[in-house]
Amino acid sequence: MAKELDFKIFNTMTKTMEVFKPLVPGKVRMYVCGVTSYDLSHIGHARAAVIFDVLFRYLQHLGYEVTYVRNFTDIDDKIIRRANELGEDPLSLSSRFCEEYLVDMDSLQCLLPTHQPRVTNHMEQIKDMITQIINNGFAYVVEGDVFFAVDKFPNYGQLSGQKLENTRAGERVAVDTRKRNPADFALWKAAKPGEPSWESPWGPGRPGWHIECSAMSAHYLTVKFDIHGGGSDLAFPHHENEITQSVAACQESRVSYWMHNGHVTNNNEKMSKSLGNFFTIRQVTERYHPLALRHFLMSAHYRSPLNYTVLQLESSSDAIFYIYQTLQDCEDALSLFQDGSMKEGVGLNVKKVGISADAQKCINKLREEFETKMSDDLSTSHILIGAFQEALKFINSSLSMLKKKQQKQQLSLIQSLTEIEKEAKLVLKILGLLPPCTYSEVLQQLKEKALKRAELTEQDVLGLIEERAMARKNKDFSRSDQIRADLTAKGIALMDVGKETVWRPCVPVEPEQDAPSVVVEQNPPPSVSS
């Protein structure tokens, strides 16, 4: 282990914060519900993927060997319906959107899970589990359909708090009068003309929605595993039904910790395809860097709702530009010393000098704050402010002093910058925010996205910089100020550095209208609520 910590997780099952203790010391088994692959994924899907990717990375940072399973639902009513609309084979359509999802995950820097099972590749495991449930007396067959009898399971509702008498029939499926109880749910659906089907003991058909995750989690992780995650909308009925059918198949089935992330909302209403108020990942990353979207998705505690606004995305884009620019400046400065080219012997002797007391204090605070917040139910919203920002400020102030110091002081400052940069990069790596390319490349990508949003080219901006310089030379300060204000309104900031003017992206400031108000809950919801 990197460090002995009490990693606390809010367990939806118990509605309390609990210290994480894996079933097998040093190993973690984790299952997260993935997407139903019938369309491009929206940023609500992205939030779940990013949150559990951060969990995956953090558990590895703590020294655990993690088996991470995230499934694809690649056969479903929605897939069949969409395929019929497009005149496409359902399995071909779902396979295509599984691959598109992986492209999106790569752009968001989500690590590949250990396993990414698809329903259509696990029919035997699903049929075996249904057979076991029937044999144990928890399900019944009607005309080729198999239904789970919820009345047979006295603990139904233990995860979500839903009482059986209050449950709604018709979730994802039409009400079926053949059911013994309207809340009974399908384990197997009899084949319909023109739909994909598989042979089974009950006739040709395909699985119900819930059984797939029970069968695949048991197959890859055994019937007892550590963490099951997904969006809060899955707690009922999906996860409730998973628990029910898993225990019905094998009484020993158990998940130690249930974790659920909050919704992404649009005007405080849940973002979803069914409501038509969603933005796909592609739509957002067309205008904003994927790492800006990732930063935005972890800007509130994972259990809290996250309200989507352009202002929040702009703020996240601005925040990561500042981070990468600071680290780029640091690398540029250190490169002059690390190869010994600036002063004879400096590159060789730099490691013999200790870091300053202020630098050590900065590192200790950053490390302590990071570990404290992450171990407190993944409080990512607090990490990139506070001590992390102080570390960036330390780097910037140190860079400005570097050339003014005597050689021995320079050596200490170089070593201090090297160690602080290393610590900052570790934080970014665990959060999945360390770029896959050089800082200069990602900074250029961020600038290109800003130009696209501003509907300008770099030549346009350089032309306006030149026009502004001429206006200042002619003492036409009104025109000079207007050029700067117009560009700032479009998200382009001009900065005068000595006799030169450079530009960088910024959060647009619109003087004509008030900026939209945004409330992002930084703290998790109270532990007494689900």
SS3 percent helix, strand, coil of the chain, rounded to 5, is: 50, 15, 35
Q: What is the pTM for the complete model shown?
A: 0.91
State how far the Cα of 380 lies from the Cα of 301, in Å rounded to an integer: 6
State how far the Cα of 242 lies from the Cα of 212, in Å rounded to an integer: 9
User: pLDDT (tens digit, 9 = 90+) per residue, 117-156?
Assistant: 999 999 999 999 999 999 999 999 999 999 999 999 999 9
Predicted local distance difference test score (pLDDT) of residue 515: 38
State how far the Cα of 296 lies from the Cα of 293, in Å rounded to an integer: 5
State how far the Cα of 44 lies from the Cα of 47, in Å rounded to an integer: 5
Predicted local distance difference test score (pLDDT) of residue 343: 47
State how far the Cα of 413 lies from the Cα of 220, in Å rounded to an integer: 50
Predicted local distance difference test score (pLDDT) of residue 513: 46
CA dihedral of residues 230, 232, 233, 235 (deg, nearest 10)? 80
Q: Is 189 helix (H, G, I), strand (E, B) or coil?
A: strand
Residue type, 72: F
Q: To which residue do tokens 């158990």 refer?
A: 254
Predicted local distance difference test score (pLDDT) of residue 170: 46
State how far the Cα of 226 lies from the Cα of 297, in Å rounded to an integer: 25
Predicted local distance difference test score (pLDDT) of residue 114: 98
Rg value, the chain, Cα: 27
Predicted local distance difference test score (pLDDT) of residue 7: 98
Predicted local distance difference test score (pLDDT) of residue 352: 60
Q: Which residues contact 87 (CB under 8 A, 6 or more apart)?
A: none
Cis peptide upstream of residue 237 (ω within 30 degrees of 0): yes
Q: Which residues of the chain have pLDDT under 50?
A: 1-3, 169-172, 341-348, 350, 513-523, 525-530
Handedness of CA 43, 49, 52, 58 (dihedral sign): negative
Predicted local distance difference test score (pLDDT) of residue 17: 98
Q: What is the DSSP string of 289-331?
A: -HHHHHHHHTSS-TTS-EEE-HHHHHHHHHHHHHHHHHHHHHH
Burial 169-192 (b: 16+ CB within 10 A, else e): eeeeeeeeeebeeebbbbbbbbbe
Predicted local distance difference test score (pLDDT) of residue 514: 43
The helix (H) or strand (E) run that includes residue 65 is: strand 65-70
State how far the Cα of 56 lies from the Cα of 52, in Å rounded to an integer: 6
Give phi and psi for 388, each to the nearest 5.
-65, -45
State how far the Cα of 114 lies from the Cα of 70, in Å rounded to an integer: 8
